[in-house]
């Protein structure tokens, strides 16, 4: 969409503080990152997605965490910039809060955040340079991979022996889908990355804390068990013409408990409404 950014480019191209790299054609996020990293010279590299806006203190807060030479990558907290638009954006904003302040926060206690998300992630340049060949040449079903860049790069950092961290007060707002179809397409793309890169990272888990192993297994097995329960319930209904109330009751009960615990943890009653996300998840 080069035509859409011409005015921005023309305005900032005259400012000596900025250097623009215009590739001949759209070759995807991975190639663009590699081109930028190759021409960079700073100790730290900040990746911000084009639909994201960072708070004024994000760079300093992330850089502070990178003072530890063992840290190779760090991410901030994600919020939905358009969360007030629709019921779906409100749910996604809550989903992001959960992903950051429960999942990533828990993983960060062991220095092993499994995915430093694209909207705002800072990397140690010296570590990046040593990993670029592996990053660039990743294949999926015999073809160059064109998805899952953030998770793969994070796993490469962990494999290289670096810590990956989370900074909850480094806040970045990103645009989220406001319609169901684009959201489901996004989630399917992310799910492919999660299953593929987790499988590739299995040898890595032996060197990490046992909690991380349990967490990763749960993240991958949980959705499969949920899908199995739904399929089993449908089969029961088709074959016996009776409603599988125990299956429905179990899913509803676990959802209510989950949302109540989060509402208590966050001290925000809005998370009781996150029960509406369950049908989407199913």
Helix (H), strand (E), coil (C) string for 196-245:
HHHHHCHHHHCCCCHHHHHHHHHHHHHHHHHHHHHHHHHHHHHHHCCCCH
Q: What is the mean pLDDT of the chain?
A: 92
pLDDT at 105 over 90: yes
Evaluate the CA torsion angle 193, 195, 199, 202 in order and state its sign: positive
Cα–Cα distance, 196 to 140 (Å, whole number): 9
pLDDT at 99 over 90: yes
Nearest C-alpha neighbor of 135 from the set 47, 33, 66: 33
Whether residue 67 contacts residue 49, with contact meaning beta carbons closer than 8 Å, is answered with no
Nearest C-alpha neighbor of 280 from the set 184, 179, 176: 184
Q: For the ranges 66-70, 166-170, 243-247, which has the lowest average pLDDT?
A: 243-247
DSSP letter at 109? Answer: T
Distant-in-sequence, close-in-space partners of 75: CB < 8 Å, separation ≥ 6: 62, 104, 113, 116, 117, 120, 121, 122, 164, 165, 166, 167
Residue 261 token pair: 């615990």
Alpha helices in 80-139 (DSSP H): 87-98, 105-108, 125-136
Give pLDDT tens digits for 150-159.
999 999 999 9
Cα–Cα distance, 116 to 150 (Å, whole number): 6
Tell me the CA end-to-end span of the chain in Å, nearest whole number.
34
Cα–Cα distance, 185 to 177 (Å, whole number): 10
Give pLDDT tens digits for 124-183.
999 999 999 999 988 888 888 888 899 999 999 999 999 999 999 999 999 999 999 999
Mean pLDDT of 194-208: 87
* CATH tag, 40-208: 3.90.550.10
Domain ranges of the chain: 40-208, 210-281
172's enclosing H/E stretch is strand 163-174
SS3 175: coil
Cα–Cα distance, 157 to 163 (Å, whole number): 7
């Amino acid at each position: 969409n080069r035509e859409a950014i011409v005015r921005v480019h023309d305005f900032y191209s005259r400012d000596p503080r900025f250097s623009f790299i215009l590739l001949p054609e759209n070759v995807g996020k991975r190639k663009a990152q590699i081109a930028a990293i190759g021409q960079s010279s700073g100790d730290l590299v900040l990746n911000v997605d084009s639909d994201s806006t960072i708070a004024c203190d994000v760079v300093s807060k992330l850089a502070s965490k990178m003072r530890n030479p063992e840290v190779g990558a760090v991410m901030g907290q994600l919020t939905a910039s358009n969360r007030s638009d629709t019921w779906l954006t409100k749910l996604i904003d809550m989903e992001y809060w959960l992903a950051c302040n429960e999942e990533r926060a828990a993983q960060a206690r062991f220095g092993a955040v499994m995915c430093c998300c694209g909207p705002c992630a800072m990397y140690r340049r010296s570590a990046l340079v040593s990993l670029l060949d592996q990053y660039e040449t990743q294949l999926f079903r015999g073809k160059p991979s064109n998805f899952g860049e953030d998770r793969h790069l994070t796993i490469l950092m962990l494999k290289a022996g670096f810590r990956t961290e989370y900074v909850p007060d480094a806040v970045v707002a990103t645009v989220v889908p406001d319609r169901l179809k684009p959201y489901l397409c996004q989630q399917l793309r992310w799910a492919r990355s999660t299953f593929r890169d987790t499988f590739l990272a299995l040898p890595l888990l032996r060197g990490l804390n046992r909690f991380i192993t349990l967490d990763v297994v749960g993240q991958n097995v949980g959705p499969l068990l949920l899908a199995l329960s739904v399929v089993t319930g449908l089969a029961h209904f088709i074959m016996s013409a009776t409603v599988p109330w125990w299956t429905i009751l179990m899913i509803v009960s676990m959802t209510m408990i989950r949302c109540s615990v989060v509402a208590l943890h966050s001290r925000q009653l809005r998370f009781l409404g996150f029960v509406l996300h369950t049908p989407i998840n199913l």
